[in-house]
Structure 1
Amino acid sequence: MDSTRSLQWIVDLDGAHDPKYGTPHRAPIVAATHENFKEYGNLVTDFDAEQIKIVPWPISGRRPLCSGTGIFGGVAEGDFIHDWVGDRCRATSLAMGWGVGSDFFVGRLPKGVNPENKTSVLVREANYHPDGSQCFFPKDKLPFVALFALPGDDVTLEDFVAFYSDGSFGFHILPNVWHQPMIPISQKAVFKNKQGAVHACVNMDMVDEFGKFLCVPLTLDGQQ
């Protein structure tokens, strides 16, 4: 797959420390539970047992989609590799082929934060997939944080929530749930990943829309 074609939504993190963007909005962080995550999807302890939900291809006219069609794009599966390069978090998807040979950076540490003691990260991009659900599971069982917002194109910074996992479970998000790649607290983390192979992707740039970055806590006490 042509990774450059798949990475058109790469955003510039150089401005993360620029005071012109003001104080970043700070997302709340919660320890993920079956109860507080149920609107977004479900927690995952058995990756192989999870079935990806494929959304039928949308129609544009008055005639209905033929029964049983529009769902044969299949499922893409492969490792999702996350690592820290200096003060930036990088993601590479082997399932979709993007990031391979390129640097797709998820977020950047706030100015002055020690890379050896990562307590929060600044992000400006999020996206959702209208063609299917997506499942992430930590292969190394290391703690990480996932950023999500419920579906809706009128999403705001206040809608995003950071969910903390101790590494014993992953996340299966429903179609249209806003998300980013996972954010590791360790230097590197590898996730099992599967999702709809069509990989329709709708993204947002928080700086363009709201004029500021989103600060995602990486610790449950939320202290910077």
Structure 2
Amino acid sequence: MTPTAHILTIEPLTHEAFAPFGDVIEASDAVRHFPINAGNTERFHDLAKLEAHDGRLIMSIFRGQPRALPFTISMMERHPHGSQAFVPMSGLPYLVVVARPGEAPTAGDLRCFLAKAEQGVNYAAGTWHHPLLALHAVSDFLVVDRSGSSPNCDEVMLDPVAIIPAI
């Protein structure tokens, strides 16, 4: 007999709710900011704790195919040797599914966040997360993560699975 799928609740992405998993990257009054360049630029400062153990930080662009909802979450991954930051470039919202660092998560451990088009996320090293979940259209993301000689991706299959319902 197959266990019943766990239905996820889609939550808004906020700094407070996402804190156990990493950082929200956005230009808002919730973060330290100040004027620079003779007042012509507002600097939103030190938005994410970027980590690269046994390697170096690299910058890439990931192009995500849109996912149709409802969507089944059957696998989660983590990067134990570095953080992984995603900054949307396509002006579209997307979904973020995470679980706390540590032992392999179950479907009941997962949280699902709806990120606004202007919000990025930085997964702390070891945070379980689902790969990119673009919505509506093909979407580009600027990604800062670790490159190194040691393996840096653990995957776990979920049983039962989790379902992201239609919005």
- TM tier, smaller: 0.7 to 0.9
- Shift of residue 154 of structure 1? 4.3
Match of 1:158 in 2: 108
- Answer yes or no: is the 8 Å Cα contact 2:104–2:156 preserved in 1: no
Structure 1's unaligned 5+ residue stretches are: 1-19, 56-70, 90-117, 220-224
- Shift of residue 21 of structure 1? 4.0
Confirm or deny that 1:132 pairs with 2:82.
yes
Separation in 1 of the partners of 2:103 and 2:138? 32
What TM-score results when the alignment is normalised by the length of structure 1?
0.60
Match of 2:72 in 1: 122
More helix by share: 1
- Shift of residue 79 of structure 1? 0.8
Aligned partner of 1:178 among 124, 128, 141: 128
- Shift of residue 172 of structure 1? 0.6
Q: Which has the higher contact order (CA 8 A, sep 6+)?
A: 2
Which structure has the larger Rg? 1
User: Deviations 1:6-53 (Å, cap 9, x if unpaired)?
Assistant: xxxxxxxxxxxxxx7454211222101111111111111279964521
- Answer yes or no: is the 8 Å Cα contact 2:85–2:144 preserved in 1: yes
SS at match of 2:16: helix
- Shift of residue 175 of structure 1? 0.5
| Root-mean-square deviation over aligned CA pairs | 2.3
Match of 2:14 in 1: 33
Paired AA for residue 124 in structure 2: L
Q: Percent identity?
A: 22
Structure 2's unaligned 5+ residue stretches are: 28-43
Match of 1:54 in 2: 52
Confirm or deny that 1:191 pairs with 2:141.
yes
SS at match of 1:213: strand
- Answer yes or no: is the 8 Å Cα contact 1:138–1:190 preserved in 2: yes
- Answer yes or no: is the 8 Å Cα contact 1:144–1:218 preserved in 2: no
Match of 1:216 in 2: 164
How does 1:48-127 map onto structure 2 within 5 Å?
A: 50=48, 52-55=50-53, 71=54, 73-84=55-66, 89=67, 118-127=68-77
- Answer yes or no: is the 8 Å Cα contact 1:142–1:189 preserved in 2: yes
